[in-house]
Amino acid sequence: MSKKIDFIKRFFQDFYLVIILIFLYAPIATMTVLSFNNSKSRTQWGGFTLKWYTQMFSSDTIMTALYNTLLIAFLSSLIAVIIGTAAAIAINGMKRVPRTIFMGITNIPMLNADIVTGISLMLAFIAFGISLGFKTILIAHITFNIPYVILSVMPKLKQTDKSTYEAALDLGATPVYAFFKVIFPDILPGVLSGFLMSFTMSLDDFIITHFTRGAGINTLSTLIYSEVRRGIKPSMYALSTIIFFTVLVLLLITNFAPKKKI
Amino acid sequence: MKKRLFKVAAAAAVAVLSAALLNGCGKSADKTGGAGEVYVYNWGEYIDESVIEQFEEETGIKVVYDMFETNEEMYPVIEAGGVKYDAVCPSDYMIQKMIENNMLAEINFDNVPNIKEIDKPFMEMTKSFDPENKYSAPYCWGTVGILYNTSMVAPEDVPTSWLDLWDEKFDDNILMQDSVRDAFMIALKPLGYSMNTTSREELAEARDLLIEQKPLVQAYVIDQVRDKMIGGEAALGVIYSGEMLYIQQEVADLGLDYTLEYVIPEEGTCLWLDSWVIPANAPNKENAEKWINFLLRPDIAKKNFDYITYATPNKGAFDMLEPEIQNNKAIFPDVSTFKDFEVFKYLGDDVDSIYNDFWKEVKSK
Amino acid sequence: MNKKLLSGPYTLWMIGFTIIPLALIVYYGLTDRSGAFTLANIIAITTAEHSKALWLSLGLSFVSTLICLILAYPLAMVLRAKGVGQGSFIVFIFILPMWMNFLLRTLAWQTLLEKNGVINGILTTLHLPTQNLINTPGAIVLGMVYNFLPFMVLPIYNVLVKIDDNVINAAKDLGANFTQVLLRILLPLSVPGIVSGITMVFVPALTTFVISNLLGGSKILLIGNVIEQEFTKGSNWNLGSGLSLVLMFFILISMALIAKYDKNGEGSTF
C-alpha cells in the first residue's frame, strides 16, 4: 500500500518536473529549430540551412557588439573587484555605525530598480558633462558590480584570523606583503566569486546600458533590442542558439569532467 | 550550487575573453586614417551601409554611426548633449523645433556644392520649416498611407479612407504607427481638421477617435510594420511610402500567395521630408558638411535609393533611375497633387505636451 | 590607520555614481523645468493615465509573483525531496535558461505567441481556431513569469535544503501528516526564502518596460513604459524623475520587508 502511494508520489513529482522543464525549454528549443529554417516564416519549414549562422558571423555589428559586451563585462568586473575588495577590507575593520551606513549604501544599486539606476546615472553623466559612450557604460557596470564583490568578500573576511596577519606584521612584514601572503589567499574564493558574479551580471544587463550608452556603441543586449523592434531577424535565433549551447557545453565540461577524475 | 555557478562562469569568462582578444586584434587593423571623425545620427535602416564605407575610403574620415526610431526619441538626445553628433537626419517639423530652440548650426553651403542637385520643389518645401534654406539639406521624402494585404482584404473593402482603419472587420488586424504626430494625423484628417491643429478641442476629438480604434489595433509599431505585413501578420498597416519598393521585391522573392498594396486615403496625408542638419554643438562641423555633400552626390544618392527605396529629392539621382521606377506613383507621387497634402509643423512646446498627454491617454486606455 | 584609506576609492565612487545620481533624480523630481520647487511631478501619479499604468503594473507584477510562487514552491520541494545535492545537474538544468540573454528569452516568447507564431501554427495544423495571444496582459504575465521564475526558485530552494531532515521525521513520528508538516514546519522555516524570492520577482516585474514593449505591442502601458518614454521620447525629465520617486517608494517597501524577514541573508539567491 505505502509502496503504491510512494510510486504515485514519485510519478507526480517527476511529472511536475517535466512540465516545468517543458515550460522553460520550449521557447529555447523553438528558436534553435527556427535558426536552421531556410524560410523566414515561423510556421513553415523551408528546409535546412546554415545561412543565418553565416549571416550572423559575417555581421560586423553583431561581432562588434559581442566584443563590446565581453570587454565591458571583463573590465567592469576587474575594476569592481579591485575597488570592492579594498572597500570590503576597510568596512570589515570599521565600527558598527559606519559599517551599517556603508553596507546600506552598498545595497542601494542591488535592490534599486534597474530603470531608476540607469536613469539616475544618465542624469549624472549629463550633469557632469561626461559624453555618453563606452566609458559611461563601463562606469555604470562597475557601479552595479561593486556591491556583488563586497557581498561575496565580506563573509570570507569575517572568517580570516586577524592574529596571523598581526603576527606577520610583528615579524617584520610590510602591511602590503602581509596582506598578500596571509589574508589574500583566504579571501581569494570570495574575490573570485565576486568577479564571476559581476561578469555574469554585466553580460545580462540591458536596462542600465540602454540609458547610459552613446553613439555607435552597442552591447549584445541593446543590439538585440533594436533589432527585435525593427523586425524578424533569424540571425537573432542563430545568436541565441550559439549562446545557449556555449553555456551548456561549458556547464557540462565544468560539472562532469572533474568528477570523473575523482 | 554557488560553486558550480562560478565554475561555469569562470570557464565562460576565459572562453569569451580569448575570443574577445582575438576579435580585438583583428579590429584594430581597420581603423581609418587621421582625417578625424564624423558622428552621424540617422533613422534605422535608412542608409546603404556600403555608402558609409565608401565615404570612409574616399575621405579618410571615420564614421561613427548611430540610429534612432522616431523624431521624438532623437530630440532629447541632442538636447541633452550627452552625445555630440555632427550630422542628424530629422523630419520637417522636428527641424523647425530645433531651429526655434537654437539647436542647429547654419550649414556652410560653400562646402556642400551638391545642394544644387536637389530638385527645386523640395527647396521650396523646405522653406515651410527652414524659411531661408540655411539649416537643412533634403535627404528623402514621401507620404504616409495604408498598406493592405490582398488576401485578407476583399476587393470591395480596399481602404480608401483613413476611417477604414476603424472597420470592425479588421479587428486585431490593424497595425498603427507608434509615433505621436503620425497617429494624430490619421485621426485628424478624417475629422476634417488640419494635422497641424493647435486647438485642444480638435485634438481631444482625435484622441477620442484613437481610443475608439484601440481595441481593433493589433499593435503600435514603427519599423516592424514592414516585416509584420510581409509575414501576413495583419491586414492593414500604416506605413511610409518609401518601404513600398522593398516590400514588393521581398513579396516577389518569397513567392507569397498574396501581394501588398499601398493606398493614400482620400482625405489626404502628410508629405514629409527628412533632411540632414548639423547640431549647434557639433564638434566636427566641416566633416559633417563633407558627409552631407557626399550623400547629395547623384551617384551616391542613387546607390542609397536602390537600397533604402525611399524617394530621393535628388534630381541627378532621379534621372538615373529606370523609367518604370520613376513612374511608380506609390514612391514618387505626382508633384501636381501636392495641394491635398500637408507638411508637419512644429507647434510649440505647449501644444507638444498636449499631444504627448493625449497620446499617453490613448496608450493607457 | 591606513586601512581606512582603502575605502577611499569606494567612497568616492559611491558618492559620485550612486548618491549624486539619486540626488539628481530627487532634484529633478521635485522641480519643474525652470528649476522651481514643485510637487506636481509626484502628484502627477494621480492622473488617470498614470495611476492606471501604476495599478496595471502592480496588478500584473502581483499576479506574476503569485504564479512564480505557486510554481516555484512545489518545484523547490520536489527538488529537495528528490534529495538532489546543491550542485546537482537537475538543479542546474532549472536555472540554465537564466543564463540566456534576457532579451533573447523574451524574443523567444514573441516568436511563440505571435499571430503567425509557432503556437498558432500548431493550432492551425490541428484544425483548431487560432488564439489571440500576443499583445495581451496575459502575454506580459507569461513573459514576466518565464524571465523571473528562477529568481523565485533559487532562494526558496536554498532555504529548504538547509532544513534538517530529522526535524521533518520527528514531526512525522509524532503523527503529523503532510499538510501539517508543510504548514507548521516547511513554510515557517522558508519564510526568508519566500520573502527574498517575492522581492526578486516583484521589483523587476513592477518596473519593467522591455517585456511590456516586446510582448504587449506598445498597447499596454506600464509605469516602467511611462517613465522610459518621459526620458527617451517625451523629454520631460522632471515628470519621469517624479514618477521614478513614486516607484522607489514601492521598492523601499520591499527592502524593508527583506530587512524584516531575512535578517541573516539566508534567502539570498546566490
- The residues spanned by each domain of chain B are 37-141+271-332, 142-270+345-364
* Among the ranges given (B12-16, C228-232, C237-241), the one the predictor scored with the smallest mean pLDDT: B12-16
Q: Mind listing the pLDDT tens digit for each residue in A39-84?
A: 877 777 888 999 999 999 998 889 999 999 999 999 999 999 999 9
- H helix and E strand count, chain C: 15, 0
Contact flag B2-C270 (C-beta cutoff 8 Å): yes
| Mean pLDDT computed over C230-238 | 87
Portion of chain B with pLDDT greater than 70, in percent: 89
Whole-number pLDDT of residue C144? 96
**What does the pLDDT read at residue B25?**
43
User: Over 80: is that where the pLDDT of C89 sits?
Assistant: no
Among A19, B18, A24, A66, residue whose Cα is nearest residue C99: A24
Per-residue pLDDT tens digits for C253-269 = 877 877 787 666 555 55
Count CA atoms closer than 13 A to B151's CA, side-chain side: 11
Q: Do B223 and A67 touch (CB under 8 A)?
A: no
When pLDDT is averaged across residues B224-242 and rounded to a whole number, the result is 91
The alpha carbon of A134 is separated from its chain's Cα centroid by a whole number of angstroms, namely 18
User: Is C228 part of the contact surface with chain B (CB cutoff 8 Å)?
Assistant: no
Nearest CA of chain A to the CA of B128: how many Å? 30
Touching B (3+ Cβ pairs <8 A), the chains are: A, C
Cross-chain Cβ contact A71/B226 below 8 Å: no
The whole-number pLDDT of residue A77 equals 96
Could you tell me which residues of chain B have a Cβ less than 8 Å from any Cβ in chain A? 2, 4-13, 15-17, 19-20, 23-24, 27, 39, 41, 44-45, 64-67, 69, 80-85, 221-224, 226-228, 231, 254
Residue A218 Cα to chain centre, angstroms:
17
Q: Is B104 helix (H, G, I), strand (E, B) or coil?
A: strand
Cβ atoms of B289 and B295 within 8 Å: the answer is no
- The pLDDT confidence band at residue B29, using thresholds 50, 70 and 90, is very low
Q: What fold characterizes domain B37-141+271-332?
A: D-Maltodextrin-Binding Protein; domain 2 (3.40.190)
pLDDT value, residue C130: 87
Contact B12, A255 (CB under 8 A): no
Q: pTM of the entire structure?
A: 0.90
Which CATH superfamily hosts domain A60-261? MetI-like (1.10.3720.10)
Q: pLDDT band at C73, cuts 50/70/90?
A: very high
Hey, what's the cell of B81?
548633449
CA pseudo-torsion sign A157, C10, C242, B67: negative
Mean pLDDT within C57-66: 96
d(CA B278, CA B311): 22
Q: What is the pLDDT of residues A133-157, one digit of tens each?
A: 999 999 999 999 999 999 999 988 8
Decide if pLDDT at C50 tops 50. Answer: yes
- What pLDDT digit, counting tens, does each position of B98-152 carry? 999 999 999 999 999 999 999 998 999 899 999 999 999 999 999 999 999 999 9
- Give the cell for residue B270: 502628410
Taking 60 as the threshold, does the pLDDT of residue C99 lie above it?
yes
- For B65-103, letters b (16+ CB in 10 Å) and e give bbbbbbbbbbbbbbbbbbbbbbbbbbbbbbbbbbbeeeb
Select from A131, A132, A250 the Cβ nearest to the Cβ of B8. Answer: A250
- For the residues B33-47, what does the mean pLDDT come to? 86
pLDDT digits 0-9 by tens, C166-175? 888 899 899 8
Report pLDDT for B312: 94
- If you average pLDDT over residues B223-228, what whole number do you get? 89
Averaged pLDDT for residues B154-174: 94
Chain C positions touching B217 (Cβ under 8 A) are: 219
Residue B210 has pLDDT above 90, yes or no: yes
Q: How confident is the model at residue C206 (pLDDT cuts 50, 70, 90)?
A: very high
Please answer yes or no on whether B6 and A193 come within 8 Å at the CB atom. yes
Q: How far is C199 from chain B (nearest CA, A)?
A: 20
* The pLDDT of residue A227: 86
| Residue A255 in this model has a pLDDT that exceeds 80 | no
Q: Domain extents for chain A?
A: 1-25, 60-261
According to the model, what pLDDT value does residue A260 have? 40
Chain B: give the shortest CA distance to residue C133, in Å: 11
Shortest CB distance from B218 goes to which of C53, C217, C226? C217
| Mean pLDDT (chain B, rounded) | 88
**Would you state the cell numbers that stand for residue A223, as one nine-digit string?**
543590439
Structural domains in chain C, CATH included, are 48-261 (1.10.3720.10)
- CA–CA distances in Å: residue A221 to residues A59, A228, B310: 16, 11, 29
3-state secondary structure (DSSP) of residue B94:
helix
**B335 has a pLDDT exceeding 70:** no
> pLDDT at position B69, please?
87
What number of other Cβ atoms are within 10 A of residue C58's Cβ? 16
pLDDT tens-digit readout, A157-198? 888 888 888 898 899 888 888 888 888 998 998 999 899 889
User: Which residues in chain C touch residue A236, judged by CB atoms under 8 angstroms apart?
Assistant: 104, 107
| Integer Cα distance of A40 and A49 in angstroms | 11
CB contact under 8 A, B20 and A40: no
Chain-centre distance for alpha carbon B167: 27
Question: Nearest-CA distance from C63 to chain A in Å?
Answer: 18
Q: Mind telling me how many Å the CA of C101 is from chain A's nearest CA?
A: 6
Q: How far is B164 from chain C (nearest CA, A)?
A: 20
Percent above pLDDT 70 for chain A: 96
- pLDDT band at residue B30 using 50, 70 and 90 as cut-offs: very low
Distance CA B169, CA B236 (A): 11
- Between A229 and C84, the more confident residue is A229
Chain B residue numbers with beta carbons less than 8 Å from the beta carbon of A40 are 231, 254
Average pLDDT, chain A: 88
Whether the per-residue pLDDT at A261 is higher than 70: the answer is no
Mean pLDDT of C188-210: 92
pLDDT in the model for residue B2:
43
Residue ranges of alpha helices (H) inside A35-113 are 51-58, 60-92, 96-111
Helix (H, G, I), strand (E, B) or coil at B297: coil
Superfamily for the B142-270+345-364 domain: Periplasmic binding protein-like II (3.40.190.10)
pLDDT at C253: 86
Cell numbers that stand for B285 in this block: 562641423
Provide the residue type at B272 as one letter: W
Closest partner residue to C87 among B1, B76, B357, by Cβ?
B1
Neighbours of chain A (3+ CB pairs under 8 A): B, C
Q: Is the pLDDT of residue B21 over 60?
A: no
